[in-house]
Structure 1
Amino acid sequence: MPAYRLCALFVLLVGLSTSLVSAAETSPAAAQAITPTETISLLGDGDLSKHFYTWLTDGGYEDPRGVFTLGKDGILKISGDGFGGLITRQEYADYYLVLEYRWGTETLLTRKGKARDGGLLLHCQGPDGGFGGSATKPGPWMTSIECQIIEGGVGDILVLAGKDAAGQPMKAEATCTIVRDRDGEAVWSPKGEATTFQRGRINWSGRDPDWQDVVDFRGADDVESPGQEWTKLECFCVGDKLVYRVNGVIVNRASDVFPQQGKILLQTEGAEMYVRKAEIGPLPKEIP
């Protein structure tokens, strides 16, 4: 083979090799989950875009109405005027997450007059909007395991199995020890029967069986702070296990969780909410 052809072939192969390496480095499938070695404030230094991007069903990656705004005092305001969330740019695994929040007074859109609603989606995988939509319209969420934040139901586990970019079902799963309440709903109990869920909700241990989807609902055994007081929510993500704690009380547990890593999504779901702390850090030596 002539020398000039050998040279051209060499350049072509080098270029192809470089492009393949570049694609592997930037592909979502090649992303490595971060296990924190120090505490990270997800609210950043006055700049939400440092750790988050926005997804809204009616705006995609744009937030023209300012659903999410970070005040000069460092407190995040979620107006509730939309459905979607703040989604971390990075994936995380084996971490301790602390969220300190309080409700505002407003309820909006299809949640007007209903229980104030939000949530933390953990181990998010797949496309933005891959859960809760249709074949023609993306949804507000992602395939994930949710830590529910709703009046009367803070700490419920929701298994959200959505679809991938090609529209194919994705796996989500969690095993909890449960009892059944008078309505047949699953309620976490340390003495319950181990049951695997591939969808649906596992109520926190003290959820009122007479729960109603009305604003200001409060159950007899609720541990969330009342009214517009601050609540401390903790999530311990340990391998394939999850532990949720609200104001110092263990409210739910799961094992054999899948996925075991992913992005974190802080929801907007028609309720005004304020967040003064959103931190992710290394797991403590003792897991409750």
Structure 2
Amino acid sequence: MEFLHTIIIAIVEGLTEYLPVSSTAHIGFTGNLLEVKDDNFFKMFQVSIQLGAILAVVVAYYKKFFDFSNLKFYYKLIAAVIPALALGYLFNDMIERVLGNQIAISTVLVLGGVVLLFADSWFKNPSTHSEKEISYKNAIIIGFWQCLAMMPGTSRSAASIIGGMTQKLSRKAAAEFSFFLAVPTMCAATGYSLFLKKWGEGSEIKQKGYEMLLANSYNMKVFLLGNVVSFLVALVAIKTFISLLNKYGFRPWGWYRIIVGLVLLVYFYFVS
């Protein structure tokens, strides 16, 4: 994978990881359009590039993440992430198979956009406006909503934010809790892709993610460059998204998903 391709994909990751538009879908489409070789390294890179975006949340909300006097904050995140860890482990192989089906992902992108068009009208009069007011029951339910994002194209951010709004969280509170929940969720996914999963099942060469990185210096440079760029872009995107969400709601993101999804459906069905 060329450095220019790495930078472009990292920008896409940083922009879309915390927006309700599916970073997985956008990275897959971008890689396809750039004609990046869909090998084991790229598959691993798509997951592990989230590390930079994870660090962006920790830096943006460092007072929250390093407030060790508020242990309930950590306990709520642990409770919320358990459903994703359990179901992600059970359905990992199925998820990987869907990742290669661009038609299916484009379709989910459109359907998710339709849901976002109505999300603001469905969830009115929130009663919870800060993380401290979120109960353990709320956190676990949001965690189950997050599991919907296991279907590529759904968007982890969209699923967990809407899950929060079903629990009477305001848009801002739901978005911020979604950001917080992303940290343990994506840490687990990144750690699994780097240290536990053997990429290349069914082939003669099977390597764990870190083994691919250590195989040559170029792979390591691509990994580091991608995560630095995704970190910087995500840092800006996080704060910008909160402001836009408060001002405009979900409808612009819904229309964006529908338009992009339809364009990609045409592209992959008739052109690709």
Structure number with the higher strand fraction is 1
Q: Which TM-score bucket, shorter chain as reference?
A: under 0.3
Q: Which has the larger radius of gyration?
A: 1
Higher relative contact order (CA 8 A, sep 6+): 2
**TM-score with structure 2 length normalisation?**
0.24
